[in-house]
Structure 1
Amino acid sequence: MLVGVKILIIIALMGGLIAYMGDKLGTKIGKRRMSLFGLRPKHTSIIVTIVTGLLVSAATVGVLTFTSQSVRTALFGMDQLRADMKQLNNEVAAKTQELIRGQALLEQNKQELEERMAEIEQIRREVEATKAELASAQAAKDATEAELASLQASYAEVSQKVAELEATRAKMEAHIKNLQNTQEQLQNGIIHLREGTILFQVDQLLAQAVVRPGLSEEDSNNAIKHIIDDTNKLVLRRLGIEDNGQSVVYVDRQNVEVATQKLINSKTPMVVQVVAAGNIISGEPAVAVIQVYPQQFIYKNGEVIHSTVIDGGTNAQSSMLQFLKQVNERAKYTDGDTYSSGPVHLKLRITQMPDFNDKAKM
């Protein structure tokens, strides 16, 4: 606005100055009766006035042109300005169309964005649900792994028990086979019992030994084995067979294991006896039983174990055998079921009873 005020002030000053100069110049020309181009002074004065007016207009336009870019543009660049304005209008129209399309595209993109946001929200919910399912699956997996570890441990334990049962079954099958062989031998022995010679009667002591306490398992097994070997040699001598390593004495394996455990756990000297389990017939295996009990003092020297009165006559032998059997039972057991600690060596004392009838006759 200040520029416009300055331009108006300059135009007014220039116009007034030029008009004043033109008026003075016209007055002088009129007074002197000057003539230009052979014209009359009146006409010359008119021409000077016209020229002065032109100078005022030219000066005004020149000052405006010199002081204002807009005037210069309006005077010399109007066509270009129009062309530029037209181009700008076209560009504005194009930009407006682009803006409209952009707004439509923006609305479309906004709608798509809202749809994408809805999809993202749906996906987020699905992800949360999936995470929850994953956590549940992980917990189930952990529980399954724990159960699997427990099942594996149970399987290992069951496998071990199965292996033990298989070993026990094999052991029992071998034991059953041995019992079957023993049964066959006993059945054959029944036949030979009627025809063969009885070497040892049932419950007859075959061999015995005293074993010191505190033995290890290996030493206990060796002690039982040596006693069975000695018994085998004794039976072979009674059979009149040369000892060439063959075994004729049979002892149940479970009986051997029980006897071995008694030796291992013993804290006092133990008596080990090999007793005939049945009548041992010549030519048949000798089935024996191992008995283990602590060594202890039973009878004093000269102590009477048992006494009875036996009638003479033809039944004297059977009565004597019955008496010896009773003595054997008394010597075999002490208080209750406790076995004695070894064989009892007896002296048989026979005293004739006085005849009271003969004394009466006298």
Structure 2
Amino acid sequence: MMTSALVLIAAVLLLGGLLAALGDYLGTKVGKARLRIFNLRPRQTATLVTVLTGTMIAASTLGILFATSSSLRKGIFRLDEYLNRLQSARDDLSAAVQDRKQAEEELAIAEEEQAEAQRDLDEINRKFQSAQNQLDTVSQEVASLNQQLSDLKQEREGLLQERQELEVQIEARDEELITQQQQLQITEERFQKLEEQRTQLQTEIEKQDNKIAELDAAIESKDRVLQFQEEEVTNLEEEIHGLQQEIQALEQYYDNFQALRQGNVSLVKGQVLAFNVVQVPERDLTKDVINEMLRQANRRAIQATQPGNEEFQEQIIVITNHQIQRLKEVLDSGEEYVVQIVSAGNYLRGEKQIQVFADVVRNETVFEEGEVVASLSLNPQDVKEGELSERIDLLLASSRFRARQSGILGQVLVGENYLDMINFMENLEALEGSYDQIQAIAKGTSSNAGPLELQLKVKRGEDVVLTN
């Protein structure tokens, strides 16, 4: 390429030189010859020849260049086209540069998005790995649960079989329950008849109470005689003893009459068959203590329902295993309890099944020494003759009622014997001056097991003026 360019340049220079020499020669000849062309002057003709020679040099040069270089031909004749194409190319280049910048910006954004996506991908991979680990754990748990489900299905089959067996047992129990309900209905009808007999008997009891009240009035009359005849106390005591025997005879008559009216009822509902204060030091002894109380209750029940039958030694009391187990659990605590075996209903003479239940109460202090159990406010001037003893009886009845309500299960005692009460009443009636209150006070600390010993105090304000 370089060699041909050098040859072309050399040829152009050589041809230009030859044509210049030829033009100079022709101009010289024309000038010397004084030739005229187109009627021009010789000098003008020489100039024209020189111009033509130069034109030929330029034309030959251009001809050589055009002949030998297609690029030059295209550059000369198609320059505007190339310029337009160049401008178009520049515009395209500018657009391409703009597109490149935009592409670079988009590439940067895409790279950022790619980096973000890569981070998201890494996070997703991490979560996927965690999820995969959880999946493995869950798969193990599912396998374990499937095993448990299989075991549960086996247990369910066993339970279904037990259910079928229980349904058979329930049907049998239902039939037994129907029989028991029929027996219960018969028992209720029997109880209704006993209630009717009890209502009739209550009327007779009231009559006997009137007789007893008359006897009490007689006793009070004797007590008033004792106030004026202290030297005859011994004789009066014998008379009182006789009256007490008469009362006992009347009570025996009343008991016999009650048994006759109630169809030989030997045990009444709520009657205590055995009473004891129990504290078991060792659990091994609990069962023996319970059995001893049940034997005691059984003996009392036999004496009540089988009188005169000394050879009868069967067990007639009936108590549920649940009652015995509950009693044992309570006594096993080692604390002190008051235990009673109580009749659960009314039973006739000759019956051989006595339903009982166990009543157990923790033996706690109910009344402290000196605590007021009941009190009576009165003015002796407002009390009519014969009413004072009734007021005292009301005070004692109120004391007994409160003692029972507070949980005293044992006896409630006033003084050591009946004579103490007689002396107290005599002293109270002979008391000079006024008083405003009579109190029944616990003589000592009393627990549920009892007994509760009462001391009567007559007070004027805060001063004690008389006590038994």
Q: When the two structures are superposed, what TM-score results if normalisation uses the length of structure 1?
A: 0.42
If asked which structure has higher relative contact order (CA below 8 Å, sep 6+), I would say: 1
Larger Rg, first or second structure (1 or 2) = 1
